[in-house]
Chains A and B, each alone.
Chain A
Amino acid sequence: MSITGWATIAFFLLCVVAITRPIGGFLKRVLEGETHFLGRIFGPLERSFYRLAGIRPDEGQSWTQYAFSVLVFKIACFLAVYGILRLQTHLPLNPMGQGAVAPDLAYNTAISFLTNTNWQSYSGETTMRHLSQMLAFTAQNFVSAAAGIAIAAAVIRGFARRSAGTIGNFWADLVRTTLYILLPACVLLTLFFVFEGVPQTLSGSATALTIEGAHQSIALGPVASQEAIKMLGTNGGGFFNTNSAHPFENPSALTNFVQMLCIFALGAGLTNMFGRMVGKERQGWAIFSAMVALFLVGVSVLYWSEAHSNPALAALGIDPSFGNMEGKETRFGIAASALFATVTTDASCGAVNAMHESFLALGGMVPLVNMMLGEVIFGGVGSGLYGFLLFAIIAVFMAGLMVGRTPEYLGKKIESREIKMTMLAVLCLPLVMLGFTALAIVIKPGLAALSATGPHGFTEALYAYTSAAANNGSAFAGLTANPFWNITLGVGMMIGRFFVIIPVLAIAGSMAAKKISVPTPGTFPTDTGLFIGLVMGVILIVGGLTFLPALALGPIVEHLAMLRGSLF
């Protein structure tokens, strides 16, 4: 570990703190339909979209209508992406002549992109045409991120409104987020990325005659425009197989830094928007603080782990001061790789700048644990905030039980319906993660896809279903998905998305209908250190009780084997 490494982490955190408030303020203006400077430019476009769609943006929806809108929109996305992938040979812009995508892979990929997971069972440069990359993936990156932010806004309205029947209009939230937040930011980011060396071209490849006289075919494409939304929308689906480790996706330490900042930007901003909309910014900062504390634990463990060299390699006479360089890029080194891996799994991004599978055992456990905790440390755009609010509800419920009072959050009584919905959302994730892993490691098609044996192979399977259910999309990438995996991972991604979205919207609906009670001296304050500690405790205890046995079978036993010098 080095001073410069820690300086990078500290400066990163400082930047996140600095951008939270301005972004939160702008998010609120956009999602509350207030006036802002971008409205003057894109306003006519926004209104023409509403006219074509036949909707009134100020017409509020009940939670069931809002949820139906989300679902119907997602079905449309699924059918379109599936169709484009299956038919890509018949569509234009295919410089490399790629064939149609197989049905199970197309199904898996369509679900993957519409749920903002961006799990990639394919390798981008060898499977997908430019049209698929642009029309199917870049577009889905925008709308799945916008849908996540829209749902978060609806949930916040549930907490902020009193005795209300509606939680906003999904279509307006979707269009406004895309037009005013994601698109303008991505235009600037694309230009920055190209300036730093990320390609943006329609040609498929260049052929070089190397100075040693060999031929090298270099895959190219419209990379920068996809890179921008991939990071900002916490999508994480790379243009190339190796994602942000590929020098064309992430050419320098500076692009790497900006990419990490993009992953956290909107998630952090949403905590501030939450505070503003419920009337007290401190409520947002309390959530922010709990997230930062959990982030720091993760990055410290991961950095510490990777700064060590693999003992089996050090024994061969290799300089141990480099740390574990297998599967890492020279320009990023240990610190920026550890930071990126933490950030991408704290949020549900899933982009990688190093191969998580090649981390040392405890290093690889950190991304896994981050996802198992439900990706509530800033989290995916939107999903991080509403995921965190579920844990906040459990925390105030437990505090209420301890003192024997009806639990309240932001003046709203938490009653049995909210707790039931919260538990439904919190429990469905481990069911997918652990249930499918248990199935995959006892049947042939499940085992056939694993590249490693021993505890590492188990971790590979556990990581895959955890990543799918948490809608992350990063992988222990040695796994070669076959139809069994494509289908089960697809189911996992859907459950992980919709069995959280629907209960969380139900909570928003019932919260909106409640009165806001006046705080009394007996009210448990939710903007203090006590609450921050309690909610962190809930997150860690729920995660620990659920996943510790599985972690013991995977990374923990592998760590012990590594120290003992066992190989598999």
Chain B
Amino acid sequence: MTIIRQIRPAVTLFICLSILTGLLYPLGMTALSNLLMPHEAQGSLLTSEGKIVGSQLIGQNFIQPRYFHGRLSATSGPNPLDPSKSGPLPYNAAASAGSNLGPTSRALVDRVSETVAGLKAENPEAIAAGWKIPADLVTTSASGLDPDISPEAAYFQVQRIARVRHLSEGSVRALIDRMIARPLMGWLGEPHVNVLELNIALDGLQ
């Protein structure tokens, strides 16, 4: 009997609380957020000449040598040439993913050595100058969408960018200096550079 008597409050309160917290709350917050902070509520999208070029918060897959490169990304998705097949699709912001490779994974070590070889070939000046390879450039981020790199990873690419774009190394380095986001109050968070914003600023240099 006790159980039967519990059914009415269980069902009623389930419905009331679900409507309140599952509909009114998220919909109300959506309305309020879009009224007060439409840019952020819509995903902090960046536009250029009326077209969306990306989100400030979401990394992009930069492969051309004339742009700064970001972290590795382990996301996958439909093959752009043949959508029926699925395969690696870095910075697929429709399906975030990490590599989930553990510390003793052979696949991890193979992947990193391949990346190291690529970075050495692409940035011979930095290697010749005795740079050790910044770890964030050879590792995948947790989300696969990391928008940032460390200042070291940006400086590591200075000479390549300067060479490809016929800029002075000093001007590229000064641009990075300007774009570094410092930790809050000097200690909360890590210094980092947003790669998309850095590359947009880089295009503006010429």
Contacts known (A139-B22, A309-B135, A358-B99); A247 close to B57, Cβ less than 8 A: yes
Check if B123 is an interface residue, CB within 8 A of chain A: no
Query: How long is the Cα–Cα vector from A146 to B17 in the complex, in angstroms?
Result: 11
Of A156-164, A216-224, A441-449, A486-494, the segment with at least 4 beta carbons within 8 Å of chain B is A216-224
Check if B20 is an interface residue, CB within 8 A of chain A: yes
Decide: A206 and B29 in contact? CB cutoff 8 A: no
Q: How far is the CB of B177 from chain A (nearest CB, A)?
A: 17
Check if B12 is an interface residue, CB within 8 A of chain A: yes
Against A, the Cβ 8 Å flags (1 = close, 0 = not) of B124-139 are: 0000000011111011
Check if A175 is an interface residue, CB within 8 A of chain B: yes
Q: How far is the CB of B105 from chain A (nearest CB, A)?
A: 6
Query: How long is the Cα–Cα vector from A141 to B21 in the complex, in angstroms?
Result: 9
Q: Report chain B residues within 8 Å CB of A11.
A: 187-188
Neighbour of B102 across the interface among A194, A325, A456, CB < 8 A: A456
Decide: A142 and B3 in contact? CB cutoff 8 A: no
Neighbour of B21 across the interface among A3, A55, A138, CB < 8 A: A138
Of A22-30, A348-356, A384-392, A516-524, the segment with at least 4 beta carbons within 8 Å of chain B is A348-356
Q: Report chain B residues within 8 Å CB of A219.
A: 93-96
Q: Report chain A residues within 8 Å CB of B20.
A: 178, 183
Q: Report chain A residues within 8 Å CB of B3.
A: 68, 72
Q: Report chain A residues within 8 Å CB of B183.
A: 4, 253
- The CB with the most chain B CB atoms within 10 A, among A7, A245, A323, is that of A245
Query: How long is the Cα–Cα vector from A201 to B146 in the complex, in angstroms?
Result: 21
Query: How long is the Cα–Cα vector from A481 to B80 in the complex, in angstroms?
Result: 27
Check if A477 is an interface residue, CB within 8 A of chain B: yes
Residue tally, chain A, CB below 8 Å to B:
132
A74 to chain B: closest residue by CB: B10
B60 to chain A: closest residue by CB: A210
Q: How far is the CB of A106 from chain B (nearest CB, A)?
A: 17
Neighbour of B40 across the interface among A134, A194, A205, A256, CB < 8 A: A194
Q: Can you list 18 A-B contacts with CB-CB less than 8 angstroms, sorted by A residue number?
A: A53-B16, A64-B2, A69-B9, A146-B17, A194-B36, A194-B37, A200-B30, A201-B30, A225-B25, A242-B98, A242-B143, A253-B188, A254-B188, A326-B139, A331-B192, A355-B98, A355-B99, A357-B102
Q: Which residues of B are interface residues toward A (Cβ below 8 A)? A: 2-3, 6-14, 16-18, 20-23, 25-27, 29-30, 32-34, 36-37, 40-45, 51-64, 67, 71, 80, 91-106, 108-109, 112-113, 116, 132-136, 138-150, 152, 183-184, 186-190, 192, 196, 199-200, 203
